[in-house]
Structure 1
């Protein structure tokens, strides 16, 4: 009797289409197991080291980089929120929360679950940002300011906080988000009320000392967005260059 043939594998003489059809159910299962929802959960955002998920197999290097950049940018935003509440404790007392920690959790939940913030009247992104630092706003400015930046970051990335093979990016929107952050940092330091006092206390340079930690966190977020923009632009440029090289070198593509 002849030897029993071994199991078919994705390689050798197996045809690419048949191989993909065999692998597709397994990839779908990975998506289900990994919970490929396109949104980071709060634990993944707050902790730098998170367990490897099966769905990460469906991420390119750029997808993984964008996911980590989003997580770290939200971390920086939450640190800014905490610092602002420390210097402006009157703000969290404007709402029904028992303490600043409860207010922070509510804001994080709204950002990460794509919910409206009640005092912004349905505003998000840049519209919410301008309104949060306007003299006429009467609500919790720290909450509104943080939510506005968070929703802007998510919107610029296509409404997602996790990214996979099927996702696409608009490098221009991410670049614009970086510039909006620079403007937000400037607004935070310059906006005043009718008596000339800052709407929110943040950076401080005085005889007693300097506190520029707010500017540092803004700088980190801008740098991450700019790096991602450059990586995306380079990826699309290299795709065209690689295609041109294949034509120049007359490299034929395999058909089986």
Structure 2
């Protein structure tokens, strides 16, 4: 009975809201404010990583050509499926998540480095939210996983800007100054936003569960990434 009363009040109040407001959804009754914040973060990291994937392929078209017939659209379908495959991708030696990121900066790896990097980042973030597409009251997030994913993103950003092949060329082109002298740091901004939302979510979950984040010293230049 109490549920029906609350539902009726919410439905009535939703009719008085601004026409531009989001419509009331029954499923939101099973969400706390923190769950809704987590949902926003889930949508945000997916959008940011999609944008980053597209930008990296446009800056590094040679990587896409390593797989005959491959397109950016097909890569996006692989990176953002309805359900993430836990076994990873065959072309990445079935690595996924943080374990796949080092491939993008490995001398031995001859495959699509953009795909290795983004499969690693998206898989890692997916695991940080336990593979969920939405968060509800009974779902539990791990503040330490969220914190470690932020540190891994910092490392990935450092490698993207600094790691070079034996010939002295960057493995992947990203930030830089164009021929007309205009600087482009949009890649860095996207990664900075991803790091920020992960750190913020780690703080929120730690506060909610009354736990302390185990902050560790982790050199950005290290090829060792925290398992998520």
Q: TM-score scaled by structure 2? A: 0.77
Q: TM-score scaled by structure 1? A: 0.69
Q: How does 1:87-126 map to 2 (within 5 A)?
A: 87-109=59-81, 112-115=82-85, 116-126=88-98
Supply the RMSD in Å over aligned alpha carbons: 2.5
Q: How does 1:122-137 map to 2 (within 5 A)?
A: 122-137=94-109
Partner of 1:86: 58
1:53 Cα offset (Å): 4.3
Q: 1:235 to 1:128 in 2, by over 3 A?
A: same
2:26 pairs with 1:75 = no
2:142 pairs with 1:170 = yes
Q: Give 1 or 2 for the bigger CA radius of gyration.
A: 1
Partner of 1:230: 203
Partner of 1:158: 130
Structure 1: how far apart are the matches of 2:146 and 2:184?
28
- Alignment coverage as a number of residue pairs: 194
**Structure 2 unaligned regions, length at least 5:** 8-20, 212-228
2:11 pairs with 1:56 = no
| Cα pair 2:60 2:173 within 8 Å, conserved | yes
User: Larger helix proportion, structure 1 or 2?
Assistant: 1
Partner of 2:224: none
Deviations 1:184-226 (A, max 9, x none): 0001111111211011100003672211000000011111111
For the residue of structure 2 that corresponds to 1:237, the secondary structure is coil
Moved over 6 A (4+): none
